[in-house]
């Protein structure tokens, strides 16, 4: 029986045992992982983009699924703008040479809102089909710009994920 099936069976058995303590949600915490990433320098100019930069590789024997991410702009804030903005994207790769695929993203436009220095900003826009990171797969980080762009400051990111089956 593949290891991936065993994870699901183990979760089912354990969740039945801890129903009074939260059941499945409690067991899901056991398989949850956080993937931290630090953007260590502000963009050189408002128009500076970032190509896919490796953030993490899946070392587990099961796929990992991205859920959401949070950002904290530590170097400065970002003022939202309709046309001059940045799109920050976490992408997944299959680990065998396939192209990256957008999984989680946020745009610093009016809909995405301002980023206040040292305040958490949720990254919740998901492309459901691309959330899986297969065994040996990777997560990458990229920044594209709209209009004349905006400087993305030094920032910290944490991706919330869980081990699959």
Domain residue spans of the chain: 1-30, 33-163
Phi-psi region of 14 (alpha: psi -120 to 50; beta: other; left: phi over 0): alpha
Model pTM score: 0.85
Q: What is the pLDDT of residues 16-55, one digit of tens each?
A: 666 665 556 666 677 789 999 999 999 999 999 999 999 9
CA pair distance 84, 112, nearest whole angstrom:
13
Percent over 90 (pLDDT), the chain: 75
Q: Which CATH class is domain 33-163?
A: mainly beta
What confidence tens digit (pLDDT) does each residue in 103-160 have? 999 999 999 999 999 999 999 899 999 999 999 999 999 999 999 999 999 999 999 9
């Amino acid at each position: 029986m593949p290891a991936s099936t065993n994870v699901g069976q183990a979760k089912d058995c354990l969740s039945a045992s801890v129903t009074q303590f939260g059941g499945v949600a409690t067991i899901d915490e056991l398989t949850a992982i956080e993937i931290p990433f630090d953007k260590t320098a502000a963009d050189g100019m408002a128009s500076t983009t970032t190509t896919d930069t490796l953030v993490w590789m899946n070392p587990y024997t099961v796929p990992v699924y991205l859920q959401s991410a949070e950002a904290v702009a530590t170097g400065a804030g970002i003022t939202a703008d309709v046309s001059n903005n940045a799109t920050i994207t976490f992408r997944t790769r299959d680990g065998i040479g396939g192209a990256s695929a957008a999984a989680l993203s946020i745009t610093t436009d009016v809909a995405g809102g301002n980023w206040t220095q040292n305040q958490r900003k949720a990254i919740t826009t998901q492309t459901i089909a691309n959330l899986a990171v297969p065994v040996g797969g990777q997560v990458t980080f990229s920044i594209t710009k709209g209009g004349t762009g905006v400087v993305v400051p030094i920032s910290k990111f944490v991706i919330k994920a869980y081990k699959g089956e």
